[in-house]
Amino acid sequence: MENKKLVTILVPAYNEQEVLNMLYDRLKNIMDENTNYDFEVLLVNDGSKDNTLNIIMELREKDKRINYLNLSRNYGKETAMIAGLDYIKGDCVVIIDADLQDPPELIPEMLKYWEEGYDDVYAKRNSRKGETFLKKFTSKMYYKILQGFTKIEIQKDTGDFRLLDRRCVEALKQIRESQRYTKGLFSWIGYNKKEIRYDRDPRAAGATHWNYKKLIDLSIDGITSFTTSPLRWSAIIGVLVSLAGFIYMIVIICQTLINGVTTPGYASTMVVILFLGGIQLIFLGVIGEYLGRAFYETKRRPLYFIDRYNEERETNLKKKEN
């Protein structure tokens, strides 16, 4: 008997008690139908406050293909994903949301392309059912801005739903930055990419964990973790403004030489002060963003702590890194 390849399905879950059983049924179908592969499901419980962990443990009782990782608290999806990647066993991994917005039925197609030699088969959404106009609009604008700033190509309308070959996983595991923007990292590591299309379903049950604050945070992380061009733009705009200031200075000097000292000028003085003040504050903010990132990264804290992997209780003495 030849050895079957092991496929890991990685699912970060935070307060997903309503959908987990549905998710399991859909995944079970896929796993049972594709007999050419062995499957492992790794559920990462990201510090859920509801019954998620208990449901996961019950599922594992039923089906030993299910493994779980319980994090010590809620770290957010980005961190839950890297924690999961650290623990997967498969020759490839499919990252999928717990809420069934990403149809597991796409997995066989992903596997097909993987067999053809692609390392990163990502699913791009055709439509976004059940999402508000504002969310769609802001995400579209955001991609535009991000793409304007960075040189690496970031896939539009693509989430974390994708199949990654083992070597992509090993690459991602080496990137230990704490302010993660995984969507950009997928592009940054390179390798052979293949796009497939799908219709994103609305959430099967439960509520989204996203809000605009998180979205804005993630967007800023996205820009600041991949490019320093906002800093360069600050400098360029600074040069332009001071050039304009210099010209205005010449104008004022000439006027004073020709007309003598005339006191009026309140309006123009105020305009200049307010404008320059505003620009300076904005650029200080930009510098602050980068300084803040440097601050977090220099602490070199571990990205997460885990409470247990399956039945094994983790002690902090046993350190799992890289």
Judged by the rule CB under 5 A, the positions of this chain that interact with Mg ion are 97, 99, 101
166's contact among ligand UDP, Mg ion, none, with CB below 5 to 8 A by partner kind, is: none
User: From the list 98, 100, 111, 223, which residue makes contact with ligand UDP (rule: CB under 6 A)?
Assistant: 98
User: From the list 14, 113, 226, 304, which residue makes contact with ligand UDP (rule: CB under 6 A)?
Assistant: 14
Q: In angstroms, rounded to a whole number, what is the distance separating the alpha carbons of residues 286 and 230?
A: 7
Backbone angles phi, psi at 91, to 5 degrees: -80, -20
Return the exposure string of 39-56: e unless at least 16 CB atoms fall within 10 Å of the residue's CB, then b: bbbbbbbbbbeeebbebb
Backbone angles phi, psi at 41, to 5 degrees: -110, 125
46 near ligand UDP, rule: CB under 6 A: yes
84 near ligand UDP, rule: CB under 6 A: no
Name the minimum Å distance from CB 252 to ligand UDP.
54
User: From the list 18, 40, 86, 99, which residue makes contact with ligand UDP (rule: CB under 6 A)?
Assistant: 99
What are the structure tokens assigned to 145, written together?
Answer: 């801005």
Name the minimum Å distance from CB 208 to ligand UDP.
3
The DSSP bridge pattern shows strands 92-95 and 5-13 to be parallel
74's contact among ligand UDP, Mg ion, none, with CB below 5 to 8 A by partner kind, is: ligand UDP
By beta-carbon proximity to Mg ion, the closer residue of 193 and 209 is: 209
Start-to-end Cα distance in the chain:
33
76 near ligand UDP, rule: CB under 6 A: yes
Name the minimum Å distance from CB 28 to ligand UDP.
18
Which of these ranges, 97-105, 216-224, 242-250, 303-311, lies near ligand UDP under the rule CB under 6 A? Answer: 97-105
Instruction: Give the interface size with ligand UDP as a residue count (CB under 6 A).
Output: 17
Name the minimum Å distance from CB 227 to ligand UDP.
24
By beta-carbon proximity to ligand UDP, the closer residue of 73 and 319 is: 73
Side by side, the strands of the sheet bearing 306-309 are: 193-200, 120-128, 158-165, 92-95, 5-13, 37-45, 66-71, 306-309, 312-313
Name the minimum Å distance from CB 76 to ligand UDP.
4
- Describe the chain by its helix, strand, coil percentages, rounded to 5: 50, 20, 30
Q: Which of 95, 123, 100, 76 is nearest to 8 (CA)?
A: 95
What are the structure tokens assigned to 300, written together?
Answer: 């070199």
208 near ligand UDP, rule: CB under 6 A: yes
> Where do contacts with ligand UDP occur on this chain (CB under 6 A)?
12-14, 16, 46, 74, 76-77, 80, 97-99, 101, 203, 208-210
